[in-house]
Amino acid sequence: MNYMIGTRGSKLALAQAEYVRGRLSRAYPMHTFDLRIIRTAGDKILDKPLSEIGQKGIFVKEIESEILDGTVDIGVHSMKDMPGCPAPGLIFTAAWTREDPRDVLVLREAGSLQELREGAVVATGSKRRKLQLKGLRPDLNIVGIRGNVDTRLKKMHEEQLDGLVLAAAGLHRLGMQRMITQYLDPEDVVPAPAQGVLALEIRAGDTGLFDLLNALSDADCAGETNVERLFLQEMGGGCHLPVGAFCRRVKEGGYSLLAMFGNEGGSRMAKVSVAGCNPGCLVQEAAVCIRRQIAGMVYLVGAGPGDPGLVTVNGLKVIKKAGCIVYDRLVPVELLSEAPDGCELIYAGKENRRHVMEQEEINRLLVQKSMEYDMVVRLKGGDPYVFGRGSEEGIYLTGHGVPFAVVPGVTSAVAACACAGIPVTHRGMASGFHAVTAHSQNGGLADIDFEAMAAGRDTCIFMMGLSKTAEIVDRLMGAGMPPDTAAAVISCACTPDQNVCVSDLRHISEVVKEAGICAPAVIAVGEVVSLRKKLDVPLYWPLAGKHYLIPKIGAKTTRLAELLREKGAGVQELKVGQIVYTKRRFTAEELRGISWLVFTSKNGVEAFFSAMGASGLDLRLLAGCRIAVVGKKTGEELMRHGLYADLMPEVFEGKALLAVLKGHVRAGECVWYVKAANADHYLRDALTGMCRFKEVVLYENRAQKPDFAYIRQEQGFDGVLFTCVSSAERFLDAVGEDAKRYGRYYCIGERTMDCLKGRGIQGGFLAGQASYEGLVELLLAENSVGKEHFRYE
């Protein structure tokens, strides 16, 4: 029978494939074995470091595809390049005898690592090697390198590099042992998992071929490789972080394992040496020891009952410092806007047994992210230990060597009732309360002691029980609770969508059904519910029940969002850009020569004074300079730096600013317009002929692809508010033909409105004044005709 062997086309890959073909041909002369060269993504992308394109799998996916479609029968790879688990439908056969697993130095002049000159330049494409070499010689300058062995050797001489770090196995298989200057002891530089081992990959159902290949395997090497790859899987499988593992069989029948792991930035690294007979236990022990040394802190944070303002001070503090946030469905999305730039946001929500992630997957994710970030936040609605499975996550983290801390939150079991005007305790009515989850693991009603609830006067609170309201009522009355006991169901508590139904126990199910109450909801039963008539004070919220979307630049919560929330509106913000300062230095001479400084945004003000500070200059140099600003907010930002604007138009618009400037700027005066790199040139075009006009680019409004993952979709919005042209353009580019589904469009100024018209969008609404307050007044006027909005708290 003829078998096709798939391989890459490099010298080393072909040498490995020829070795496999030779062994198979000698062992099975009745069969024929041919080679097929396949070009992979790793062969095509040569201008980026491996860590930027995905270190595991980039040299194998195309080969795996041809194995799966039957073009190739055997894929030959370097096992160290393989992900922790093979692709679905494929398996690895048992390892054959491995080549030398050590890393080696190939040096141009020096005789060893210690003989390298101070600050010597050594090249490697591996973060694992870089991290460990820096641990041995912190003075070394470690640089990246790509290409096959010949290419790297050529670069070493052409670029006058002091040396390279390569795998001994590759040089041995190419017959290039003479190039090796020094073998690095695995105690000093732990090799990659399964380095020196060939991976033979076949289709999972090809049992005949599986037996042929396994007959040539090496039992000791197969066992050692299994331990090393188990460690790789435990630490994240195909992750691009620095990971090393070197296993050896010992005489007693067990294994010894050297392992290392480091974070992506290279600031943390840990090594461990363990021994044992059980591979799984051995790997777990090594992983736990490493995590105890370098894992970041995981915070289990309660986000509160729904209102973002009800998160605790400490909770908000850790959110603002987090490197990664894993958040649930009931977390107020506004809190995610408080995360720092670059924070990784991962949704792990659950609803009606539809889980984006199962709990075990979330547990593993928290452990994995703790090895990537100094601070990970697990953000959960309410309190993490009240029906939030936070304790399960804490136990899992402890068992895996990851430190964690709990930041309690305001539980909705109490807060929902309070926001509905229902105290859970009241002297003479209820001296305590029972809070239970109505939802069992199998989806039915939880095992609740209804007799104990019905026998006392304490308030009964049921979480996650909306769909089981009728069953809860029947069980309570069946246990002896009077049918006329007051009951309430609070939906979407502590949010602009809060809705409350109140009745007696006998009729509450019908009332809830007629009202169309939706989850999440809290059920409260007890005499205290009757106090709602006295404690539920209606507050006037003119925008209650309205929901708006604000595309924004930067990570900070906008003042516009705060103003709208103060009026009772639900607001979500969508980041569509980021402000990035340019590196610019001023001289005292050029600042003294400015007649006018013109600012059209607070970002320009911030960027200008940042550049002044970086230049070692201060406000005294602006003594003879006058300043013009486009509007109130820009003027307020200027005041923060101790200066007041000399000129501000009555209408906060670029066209109005231009008009007043023309009346004040004199011929020969030097005018600096501080602007973004991608802003238009309307001021330059109008003023260049009448003064010495200069555009000073100090920042860039850099576009960012918006993430709609946590934006409400099913309920939709009442409108989208645009505060600048770039936000409008980027949002409309992102939504494309779906623009109509986001409701009405509201613009802060005429240029933003012109942008909408240019896109063919008619019927937009323009604020009377080009300011945040102007937009709010527009919405208030639109919603005030014949309507009264009350939000109950």
Spatial neighbors of 739 by CB under 8 A, at least 6 apart, are: 732, 761
Of residues 672, 752, 758, the one with CA closest to residue 720: 752
Of residues 299, 782, 772, 762, the one with CA closest to residue 563: 772
> Of the residues 81, 100, 206, 328, which is catalytic?
328
**Residue 314: CA atoms inside 13 Å, Cβ hemisphere, count?**
10
In the residue annotation, 43 being an active-site residue is answered as: no
> Of the residues 134, 350, 632, 694, which is catalytic?
350
d(CA 548, CA 721): 7
d(CA 293, CA 370): 12
Of residues 644, 650, 596, the one with CA closest to residue 624: 596
Burial of 267 (0-12, 13-18, 19+ CB in 10 A): exposed
Of residues 595, 648, 709, 634, the one with CA closest to residue 348: 709
Extract the tokens encoding 470: 């009728």
How many other C-beta atoms lie within 10 A of the C-beta of residue 451?
13
Taking each continuous run of H as one helix and of E as one strand, the counts in the chain are 27, 36
Q: Could you tell me if 252 and 278 are in contact, meaning their C-beta atoms sit under 8 angstroms apart?
A: no
Of residues 710, 686, 683, 704, the one with CA closest to residue 695: 683
Extract the tokens encoding 222: 């197969």
Look-up of token digits 């060269």: 37
Q: For the chain, give the number of residues.
A: 793
In the residue annotation, 350 being an active-site residue is answered as: yes
Extract the tokens encoding 701: 């409004």
CB burial of 287-309 (b: ≥16 within 10 Å; e: otherwise) equals bbbbbeebbbbbbbbbbbbbbbe
d(CA 46, CA 420): 62
d(CA 617, CA 281): 62
d(CA 166, CA 57): 19
d(CA 117, CA 140): 9
Residues β-bridged to residue 257: 247, 274
d(CA 449, CA 447): 7
d(CA 723, CA 729): 11
d(CA 615, CA 4): 66
Give the ranges where 201-272 is alpha helix by DSSP (H). 207-214, 219-234
Strands of 439-508 (E only): list them: 459-463, 486-491, 499-504
Catalogue the active-site residues: 328, 350
